[in-house]
Chains A and B, each alone.
Chain A
């Protein structure tokens, strides 16, 4: 059971401003049924004062998604568009007395729906749907999360780990294949020293660094592929740039073992670490 605050429970059980607005001035929709949550926000704007005079929502989602939507509408009613545009996902969560960390993406959804509704108003009222998710390189294919969205969540909320990114954006929360990519996005953003180190010639690394890099590359880029055929590989030894491995499972004793080593294991390690690497089977 999630540890929801009384305020989350209150806004879930008695959501404010549920419904739609007849002839709205702006409509923003984010999320979709595949992801498991979606929010459609309707706003009415007084053009003379640029103030939001009414806000209504429809939400598909869990308790905290409904509560976040309700909180959002309460927060923005009466605000000018400029004031509303400054509302952050953290403010939505704070309004509710906090959200479980795994549910922070619900507050992010609120903020994005608001941005979409404001954009819709500025463009004359035509609904704006999933605006952010259609631009930029998609990192998480399961949930359609772009690099831009990941960077933004990281910057706005000072996120440093892949797990935090998952909590705020859902990216990496399904099959997990993009977790290394998310880490790379974070590394680039924080200009991590490791990104520079990555380029150092393999032969110049310490033994510990070499083992670490090779193990990491095998686990990420090689073993999943071999697992699919019922096999695997383990690191045995490293000497200079020569990496010795042992094929396991269905790969051991396989007639194609030589081919697997040269055209798969070696190729992947060269791509990931250093073209000077050679791989031998023991």
Chain B
């Protein structure tokens, strides 16, 4: 069965070119990048080339501002812990209610250790307010961490303005750009951002590799302690094949940036096709600037896991903010922060595209999705109640 993969915000396919670039580093090029012999030194040279590719994708002024990590979560943890350890006198952090758990749960942990944390709210379109940020940041704030784009809704936050506010009060600014890198242009040399996290497997590198950008001159305390790797900023023998893979993926992402318009058009066709064919839907974050790859749409009166199971049966891979998919019993913290009504929140589906999606993928979803929605609504008591009310209202108006 053909798979129509529309869950690229969860993870992406490793690009064949990336796999090919990695393979020699499992076999003949197995030297330790830190070794004092030519055999390892050559590998070290390739690691530096990969670092330059990552720096180029992010528009960083210097390659040595890139630290390789094991994943986006490690990058986020490193940034947050480094900020509070670098400024022990400041015991306050500002972030948002809709961050990825790698930031949110780290903030909750820091709270349990006596730090104050302000969680900025979002409006109905999933957008933060810069006025709220202005009000929250004080001279005691060590760090402001605001994601560049939300993983569930794709809503893009005004991080440059947020960074300006943070810097004006003497706070560091970090952004989780895991969902943005490779999808929107990033230009760190003309930016006020101090630290930025990315993850390989969201941009067609494999799982298990990430990077943290730390602007030159930013105070830094390592998260993983040990050897002198990564200029003593991240201990542990370099994961060479994966670093090479991330470098190649960043190179490809730069080349693919020209495809952004094509992907946005596919997403828009999917969105308009669904909203035209299915009543009682809402596009979450639709009123805000969004990533070109992401569509978060809610189907009223039915539940997301049931939709996903039917889609999965048809070969369509997507995800849901429904409670039942996570085992948490509550729908997505992002949708709740946005005030999405429960009648919609449980029935939310996220479609996320990549450069590998085609028009025929979208046609397939537009043909197969509406009958699934109809089938589930036909068995939903709330759909029948709503239809009954609509009928009565119709009869009364006659």
Residues in A lying within 8 Å of B, measured CB to CB: 9, 12-13, 15, 18-20, 29, 33-34, 36-40, 57-66, 102-103, 142-143, 166, 170, 173-174, 223, 227, 229-232, 234, 248-250, 252
Q: Given known contacts A36-B324, A173-B329, A231-B114, is B309 in contact with A65 (CB within 8 Å)? A: no
B98 adjacent to chain A (CB < 8 Å): no
Q: At the interface, yes or no: B313 with Cβ under 8 Å from chain A?
A: yes
Are A61 and B303 within 8 A (Cβ)? yes
Asked if B91 contacts A249 (CB within 8 A), the reply is yes
Contact A63 B306 (CB under 8 A): yes
**In the complex where A36-B331, A62-B303, A248-B114 touch, is A20 in contact with B342 (Cβ < 8 A)?**
no
Cβ–Cβ contact B91 & A65, under 8 A: no
- In addition to A13-B310, A58-B384, A249-B91, 5 A-B residue pairs with Cβ atoms within 8 Å of each other are A59-B379, A59-B380, A60-B382, A65-B324, A250-B91
Contact B379 A15 (CB under 8 A): yes
Does B105 count as interface, using CB distance less than 8 angstroms? no
Whole-angstrom distance between the Cβ of A257 and the nearest chain B Cβ:
14
- Smallest CB separation, B350 vs chain A (Å): 16
Q: Is B397 an interface residue, CB under 8 A from the partner?
A: no
Per the bound structure, the CA–CA distance linking A248 and B88 in Å amounts to: 13
Q: Does B183 lie at the interface of the complex (its beta carbon under 8 Å from any beta carbon of A)?
A: no
Other-chain contact of A58, B306, B343, B379 (Cβ < 8 Å): B379
A-B residue pairs, 5 tightest by C-beta = A230-B116, A248-B114, A173-B329, A62-B324, A62-B305
Main secondary structure of the interface of A (DSSP, over half): mixed
Contact of B384 among A20, A173, A174 (CB under 8 A): A20
Chain B positions 78-113 with a Cβ under 8 Å from a chain A Cβ? 91-92, 111-113
Question: In the complex, are the beta carbons of B303 and A36 less than 8 A apart?
Answer: yes
Partner of A249, one of B116, B306, B327: B116
Q: Is the CB of B302 closer than 8 A to any CB of chain A? A: yes
Greatest chain B CB density within 10 A among A36, A57, A66 is at: A36
Indicate which residue in A18, A29, A37 contacts B378 across the interface (CB closer than 8 Å): A18
The answer to whether residues A230 and B329 also contact, given A18-B379, A33-B342, A66-B379 and a CB cut-off of 8 A, is no
Given A36-B346, A231-B114, A232-B114, check contact A63 B309 (CB 8 Å).
yes
Whether A60 touches B381, Cβ cut-off 8 Å, given contacts A12-B309, A13-B313, A250-B91, is yes
Q: Could you say which of A40, A63, A227 contacts B381, with CB atoms under 8 Å apart?
A: A40
Whether B306 lies near A61 (C-beta < 8 A) is yes
Q: Across the A-B interface, how many residue pairs have beta carbons closer than 8 Å?
A: 103
- Please determine whether A12 and B343 come into contact, CB atoms closer than 8 angstroms: no
Chain A residues contacting B268 (CB-CB under 8 Å) are none
B116 touches A65 (CB 8 A): no
CB contacts (< 8 Å) of A40 on chain B: these are 381
Q: Which of B310, B329, B330, B382 has the most chain A CB atoms inside 10 A of its CB? A: B329
A33-B343, A38-B381 in contact; A230/B92 too (CB < 8 A)? yes
Once the chains are docked, how many angstroms separate the CA of A142 from the CA of B327? Answer: 16
Name the CB-closest residue of B to A229.
B116
Decide yes or no: A232 and B111 within 8 Å by CB, A33-B342, A61-B303 being known contacts: yes
- Chain A residues near B327: list those with CB within 8 A: 102
Residues of B within 8 A of A18 (CB): 378-379
Chain B 310-339 residues near chain A, CB threshold 8 A: 310, 313, 322-325, 327-331
Bound together, the chains give a CA A166 to CA B305 distance in angstroms of 19
User: What count of chain B residues pass the 8 Å CB interface test?
Assistant: 37
With A174-B329, A249-B91, A250-B91 known as contacts, the answer to whether A59 contacts B305 (CB < 8 A) is no
Assess whether B242 is interfacial by the CB under 8 Å rule: no
CA distance A14 to B310 in the complex (A): 11
Which residues from chain B contact A250 at a C-beta distance below 8 Å?
91-92, 116
Q: Which of B306, B329, B331, B346 contacts A12 (CB 8 A)?
A: B306
Interchain Cβ contacts under 8 Å between A and B, 7 examples = A33-B342, A33-B343, A36-B324, A60-B302, A248-B113, A249-B91, A249-B114
> Chain A contacts of B68 at CB under 8 A?
none
Bound Cα distance from A58 to B383, whole angstroms: 10
| Smallest Cβ-Cβ distance to A171: which chain B residue | B329
B380 in contact with A230 (CB, 8 Å): no
Chain A residues with Cβ under 8 A from B39's Cβ?
none
Task: Please measure, in the bound complex, the distance between the C-alpha atom of A38 and the C-alpha atom of B262, giving whole angstroms.
Answer: 41
> Which residues of chain A are within 8 angstroms of B323 by Cβ–Cβ distance?
36
- Chain B proximity of A70: nearest CB distance (Å): 10
Residue of A39, A62, A231 contacting most chain B CB atoms (<10 Å):
A62
Tell which of A20, A36, A231 touches B322, judged by Cβ atoms closer than 8 Å. A36
CB distance from A215 to the nearest CB of B (A): 12
CA distance A165 to B242 in the complex (A): 43
- Least CB distance from A114 to B in Å reads 16
Query: Does B111 lie within 8 Å of A62, measured CB to CB?
Result: no
Residues of B within 8 A of A232 (CB): 111-114
A13, A39, A166: the one within 8 Å of B329 (CB): A166
The distance in angstroms between the C-alpha atoms of A20 and B112, with both chains bound, is: 51
How many whole Å from A80's CB to the nearest CB in chain B?
Answer: 26
Q: Per-residue 0/1 for B362-393: is the Cβ within 8 Å of any A Cβ (1 yes, 0 no)?
A: 00000000000000001111111000000000
Does B213 sit at the interface, judged by CB under 8 A? no
Bound: A79/B28 CA distance, A: 71
CA A33 to CA B117, docked complex, whole Å: 32
Instruction: Name the residue on A nearest B110 (C-beta).
Output: A249
Q: Report chain A residues within 8 Å CB of B330.
A: 142, 173-174
B301 contacts A by Cβ under 8 Å: yes
Distance (whole angstroms) from the CB of B120 to the closest CB of chain A: 15
Q: Give CA–CA (A170, B330) in the complex, Å.
A: 10
B26 lies within 8 A of chain A by Cβ: no
Q: Which residue of B lies closest to A69 (CB)?
A: B379
In the assembled complex, the Cα of A102 lies from the Cα of B324 at a distance in Å of: 9
Confirm or deny: B115 has a beta carbon within 8 angstroms of a beta carbon on chain A: yes
Q: Please, which residues of chain B bring their CB within 8 A of the CB of A102?
A: 327
A20's nearest neighbour on chain B, judged by CB, is B384
Question: CA A62 – CA B301 in complex, angstroms?
Answer: 12
